[in-house]
Amino acid sequence: MAIHTLAVLVENSPGVLARVASLFSRRGYNIDSLAVGPTENPKVSRMTIVLNLEGHALDQVSAQLFKLVNVIGISEMKDSDSLKREILLVKVVNTPATKEIVSKHKAVISDEAAGTISIEAVGQSSEIEALLKELRPHGIRELVQSGLVALERGDKTLSDRTLSTMGTANESNPNSSTADYQN
Amino acid sequence: MSKINGAQSLVNALEAAGVEVMFGIPGGAILPAYDPIFDSKIRHILVRHEQGAGHAATGYAQATGKVGVCIATSGPGATNLVTPLADAQMDSVPIVAITGQVPGPAIGTDAFQEADIRGVTMPVTKHNYLITDPADIPRAIAEAFHIASTGRPGAVLVDIAKDALQKETTFNYPKNVSLAGYNPVMEPKSEAISDAAALISQSKKPVLYVGGGVIKANAAKELLALAELTGVPVVTTLMARGAFPDSHKQHLGMPGMHGTVAAVTALQKADLLITLGARFDDRVTGKLSTFAPNAKIIHADIDPAEIGKNRHADVAVVGDLKNILRALVPATKAALAKSAPDLTPWLNEVYGWRKKFPLGYDKPSDGSVSPQYVIERIGKISGPDTIFAAGVGQHQMWASQFIGYEKPRTWLNSGGLGTMGYAVPAAMGAKVGAPDTTVWAIDGDGCFQMTNQELVTCALNNIPIKVAVINNESLGMVRQWQTLFYNQRYSNTDLHSKRIPDFKMLAEAMGCVGLRCETPGDVDKTIEAAMAINDRPVVVDFNVHRDAMVWPMVAAGTSNDDITVARSMAPVWDSQEL
């Protein structure tokens, strides 16, 4: 099993999240996290899907996903050439020790009450995990995490590649050995 | 532009999409559409159950290659379409379903006859729509027909809220459909074609593994050209029967669970499978890890998601099969000019298997009628121009095995979903699409009792199909498995249907001619009597031996190497063959 991150551009149409979720459910693909939100184009939403997959399954997942009429483009976001971030909000006991952990991890105290502090952290999965590991012995009262979001490094954008051709017939690349599918 | 209501816009759009016929039943939410349908040039056939409408649309589409259309109301009308939609989607048949939905403001309130049919059908359609604004109707219809009929064909549902049908709008049918996320690849890549040709020119034991995609792509002629150019033996899957003439000397028959020994064994022993529009379904491969262990795979398909789904492809060729074959024939010819291995030893071997292990059946010793014989005789007497639609079960397998198919679109069945009850409504749809062609439904007594109500539709609408009920008083295929795997404990497979219902009387009650045949000597003359009736549907109740079994068989989940030709009987191979 290996973790893969897919960036998926979808038409911003009703039911599109259900279509993607239904596909993953019926084909038995395990989603670790899914984040969806607007993009610079109001007609397009972007999903970042983190999957735990075996062997060649990534090509198959991408191909099945690409069959959805509302899916415009898919790209694998590899660790080496993309920025990946998660958001953590966590409520812990208000003690000097927990405050010290916050400053050590360059997190932010966003709310402070008599008994607790609410901490905000943005970072890679490993950074978030490291922070949580230190906080855990002090008693975590409540925590919430966003799904991971990812953006390619450098001048390239996924949107450029797909949206420039939006609305025109353009050959996709099904013979490609990577998980990249663009219309 | 003149104002019309959404319902008129829908009917205009269906006419603009080229719809000639649709099968359906009105109801509350779709009612506004039925008013302009009354005046439309589109023929509307009032069915007796929405499932019948869906399978009729599928039969029409499979027989004609056009998009089949069915129409139903909201709630139960729409949910009754779920089975035929799933069926059509599994077999890549282009159909469009139109359903009424409760008015927009009522959606989500659990209103009377409300069902979230877009949500329900999401996993069983290629795409679907919920339309709440009448201005969106023409575009949605145009897109639905485009999506259903292009790329890998499939089922599309358009759900339209009642108030969208009632509100005023203008009609503007799009000239072109352009979808950002949907651009099927039609032209294969030239490198893929040359790689495929190179593999063919190196293979000493090739087999053409032909699936239903060849029929969908109308590529039978091109397949014949490739087969005759290369001399490679051909197997046609259940969905591909008729894609290659059964009478052709290179044809080995059907592969799979009930395939011929020659077809199954040729795939197992091959060094190359030239896979055309087939999907390595579990009914073909048996235990996947032991399937065709020495074969390299060329996989040509219009659906990139089929490549490598079940079996790794050494060469993937994505595109329309007609285009692929048109490119592959000259490329293969050029490659064979450089190197052409001698296929003679391989051909001697496979044709030897075909000769040694032909399909066959035993005549029952008690003098009762053999079901295989009935089906074989219907095929012989009716001839290769006939369209045959089968239900699901033993009779389906026998109809695939013992009728000779010479042309595409003459064999219709529910291959992927395995929908019992498919035959009668599908035959109805086929007959509507091909009114001058003889259409036989080969049905079982179990299947027939699921959807025979559409014979009323046939009788009232001048759709004179012929139905052979292969009546073994059982859910025969399930009974066969109980015989083989459950110690002959026939739990709930005895239908007691020799006389209840009386199929002859049932047929007469529905406005059809009812015939019955109980002895082998009467088989031919009963078929001939049925063939002579062309003004009404005919139902023949063939009372057949109930213990007949479908052979050969590869038991579910086992290896194709363990094919049996009769109960507990493996083929007897010459020692050098093993």
pLDDT for A170: 33
Query: Which chain B residues are closer than 8 Å to A14 by Cβ?
Result: 130
CA B36 to chain CA centroid, nearest Å = 32
Task: Flag residues of chain A having pLDDT under 50.
Answer: 165-179
Ordered DSSP codes for B488-523: T--TT-B--TTTSS-HHHHHHHTTSEEEEE-SGGGH
A·B CB contacts under 8 A: 69
- Radius of gyration of chain A measured on its C-alpha atoms: 19
pLDDT for A169: 32
Report the gap between the CA of B174 and the closest CA in chain A (Å).
14
pLDDT for A1: 82
Q: Do A60 and B312 touch (CB under 8 A)?
A: no
ipTM value:
0.92
Q: Do A69 and B126 touch (CB under 8 A)?
A: yes
Query: Which chain A residues are closer than 8 Å to B123 by Cβ?
Result: 22-23, 26
Query: Which chain B residues are closer than 8 Å to A70 by Cβ?
Result: 181
Taking alpha carbons only, the member of B513, B540, B509 closest to residue B524 is B540
Give me the active site residues of B, please: 50, 112-113, 162, 477
In DSSP terms, A89 is beta-bridged to A120, A144
Q: Do B181 and A69 touch (CB under 8 A)?
A: yes
Kindly list the distances between the CA atom of residue B328 and the CA atoms of B184, B190, B207, in Å, as whole numbers in the listed order.
20, 9, 15
pLDDT for A174: 40
Neighbours of B523 (CB within 10 A): 22
pLDDT for A166: 44
What is the spatial distance between Cα B241 and Cα B108, in angstroms, rounded to a whole number?
45
What is the spatial distance between Cα B348 and Cα B351, in angstroms, rounded to a whole number?
5
**Tens-of-pLDDT digits for all 578 residues of chain B?**
789 999 999 999 999 999 999 999 999 999 999 999 999 999 999 999 999 999 999 999 999 999 999 999 999 999 999 999 999 999 999 999 999 999 999 999 999 999 999 999 999 999 999 999 999 999 999 999 999 999 999 999 999 999 999 999 999 999 999 999 999 999 999 999 999 999 999 999 999 999 999 999 999 999 999 999 999 999 999 999 999 999 999 999 999 999 999 999 999 999 999 999 999 999 999 999 999 999 999 999 999 999 999 999 999 999 999 999 999 999 999 999 998 999 999 999 999 999 999 999 999 989 999 999 999 999 999 999 999 999 999 999 999 999 999 999 999 999 999 999 999 999 999 999 999 999 999 999 999 999 999 999 999 999 999 999 999 999 999 999 999 999 999 999 999 999 999 999 999 999 999 999 999 999 999 999 999 999 999 999 999 999 999 999 999 999 999 999 988 888 887 655 54
Query: Which chain B residues are closer than 8 Å to A56 by Cβ?
Result: 308, 312
Q: Do A69 and B182 touch (CB under 8 A)?
A: yes
User: Peptide bond preceding B105: is omega within 30 degrees of 0, i.e. cis?
Assistant: no
Greatest alpha-carbon span in chain B: 80
pLDDT for A89: 98
Considering CB atoms only, which of B122, B182, B309 is closest to A19? B122
What is the spatial distance between Cα B22 and Cα B70, in angstroms, rounded to a whole number?
5
What is the spatial distance between Cα B171 and Cα B480, in angstroms, rounded to a whole number?
56
What's B202's DSSP letter? H
